[in-house]
Amino acid sequence: MREIKFRGQKIDTKEWVDGTIAYSEDRERAYIVEFLQATKDGTVVYCFHEADPKTVGQFTGYEDENGIEIYEGDIVSDEGWEQDDWWNYGVVEWNADDAMWVVDWKGQANNLVEPLVSTYKTVYGNIYENEELLNEK
């Protein structure tokens, strides 16, 4: 079973943090809740980081070929297949119709969990900080 967690960019420092997710009642503010420690008396210590709601993405349960966790909104490359083709970079998305994580290669979706394809995926950035990668050929 995969770990359910989220990643978001902190409002104050722009640092990326991961943990569970909480929203304000009006859903305009998002918080990444980071587990810090459990004390001997059973007290659990958490840290709430306010994150930009537009940057919050769920962990897919997969890692790239370098051991980097893959999150929703990550930009990945499939260089092991067609290094110079126009679909070199794609965006990791949740496909609700098929109930699976996919990579959108400029509109042509490929199943992220397909073993042969996922072997070649490398995380190069995300759509919030590295959108220019999607314009490269």
The per-residue pLDDT for range 7-63, each reduced to its tens digit, is 999 999 999 999 999 999 999 999 999 988 888 898 888 899 999 999 999 999 888
- Band of residue 89 on the pLDDT scale cut at 50, 70, 90: confident
CA pair distance 130, 134, nearest whole angstrom? 8
Higher pLDDT, 95 or 54: 54
The per-residue pLDDT for range 77-88, each reduced to its tens digit, is 876 555 455 446
Per-residue model confidence (pLDDT) at position 33: 96
Annotate 26-81 with three-state secondary structure.
CCCCEEEEEEEEECCCCCEEEEEEEECHHHCEEEEEEECCCCCEEECCEEEECCCC
Per-residue model confidence (pLDDT) at position 38: 84
92 Cβ contact list (under 8 Å, min separation 6): 57, 60, 70, 71, 72, 73, 74, 75, 76, 101, 102, 103, 112
In the predicted model, what is the mean pLDDT of residues 94-121? 65
Query: 57-135: CATH homologous superfamily?
Result: YopX-like domains (2.30.30.290)
pLDDT beyond 80 at 112: no
- Every domain of the chain with CATH number 2.30.30.290 lies at 57-135
CA pair distance 5, 36, nearest whole angstrom? 15
pLDDT beyond 50 at 114: no
